[in-house]
Amino acid sequence: MPVLTLDQNLVAIAAGFFIGLVLSLAGGGGSALAIPVMLYVVGLKNIKLAMGTTVVAIAVTAWISAIPHTFRKTISWSTALAFTVPGFLGLFLGRDVRAGLPMHLLMVLLGCLMLFNAAFMASTLQTIRPDSGEARPNVGMTMPLGFLVGVMAGFFGMGGGFLILPSLMFSGLPLVAAVGNSLVSVGSLGIVNAIPYAINHHIDWRIVAEYIAGGSLGTMIGTPWAKRLGQTRTLSWMVALILVVASLYMIGANVPDLYT
């Protein structure tokens, strides 16, 4: 386990706060945003250690973020299960496909995929409906999409939240309802994805605790914003902007390493 300075530990807590805020607003994307922060700000030099630590922290933070959504009735548990259970099956397939690929190449591919999702979020015209908490997407679309997202989550070794939110919206859920359901899937897929990291000791549990502490506070602040912003297109544009910035940074940081 690397020895971190006091400043680095404080940065980890601050990063957790930001990721918790993003999760509560966007329903996912925390792993993709947190990994560059873990590598280049907190100071973890090992990519696998950064990914394993991030996946656990994001999964637990996502579950914590889902709690306020249960009280606001923006989670359909039948929908979350219909999406997540096929996702578990896809997860194992994605891991097999990923085996042997360089980690820097995975980061570049992830950045490109995030750009695609940003374009989707920017183009959506969906707004929150009064019955969003009871909305039901097309199950015939939800289950196959859950499987495909699981494949991608296993391939990239993350919770897949940046894919889950647009997939749920595409299957018929309005934005705020999709955020709540996404958090359940992010937490569930993330924990299962974290098992190989834990077995291979690629998790820094101290930083996990710091991330969760900061993330819990970010969740408390972000959840009320999500309800208000979801009534307009503002939240879609905010999510898209966050994805664009994170993806460009990730691509720029990893492309040079492909040639070294």
> Model confidence over 50-77: pLDDT tens digits?
888 888 988 888 888 888 878 877 788 8
- Would you state the pLDDT for residue 125? 46
Contact 245, 18 (CB under 8 A): no
Q: How far is CA 65 from the centre of its chain?
A: 12
- Would you state the pLDDT for residue 137? 64
The residue type found at 140 is G
Q: Which helix (H) or strand (E) holds 113?
A: helix 103-123
Using alpha carbons only, what angle is made at residue 236 by residues 19 and 108, rounded to the nearest 5 degrees? 60
The one-digit pLDDT tens for each residue of the chain (260 residues) are: 566 677 778 888 888 888 777 776 665 656 667 777 777 777 777 878 888 888 898 888 888 888 887 887 778 888 889 999 999 999 989 888 887 788 778 878 888 887 877 776 666 544 444 444 445 567 778 899 999 989 988 888 777 777 787 788 777 777 777 878 888 898 899 899 889 889 999 898 988 998 889 888 887 877 676 666 655 566 667 767 777 887 887 788 778 877 76
Q: In sequence order, which residues have a C-beta less than 8 Å from that of residue 229 and are 6 or more positions away?
A: 25, 235, 238
pLDDT tens string 68-125: 878 877 788 888 899 999 999 999 898 888 877 887 788 788 888 878 777 766 665 4
Q: Is the dihedral of CA 100, 102, 106, 109 positive or negative?
A: negative
Q: In the numeric block, which tokens belong to residue 189?
A: 């897929």
Name the DSSP class of 134: G
99 Rama sector, left if φ>0, alpha if ψ -120 to 50, beta otherwise: beta
Residue among 9, 115, 111, 23 nearest 69 (CA): 23
The CA distance from 218 to 212, in Å, is 10
Burial of residue 189 (number of CB atoms within 10 Å: 0-12, 13-18, 19+):
buried
Contact 250, 36 (CB under 8 A): yes
- Would you state the pLDDT for residue 132? 43
Q: Where are the domains positioned within the chain?
A: 6-259
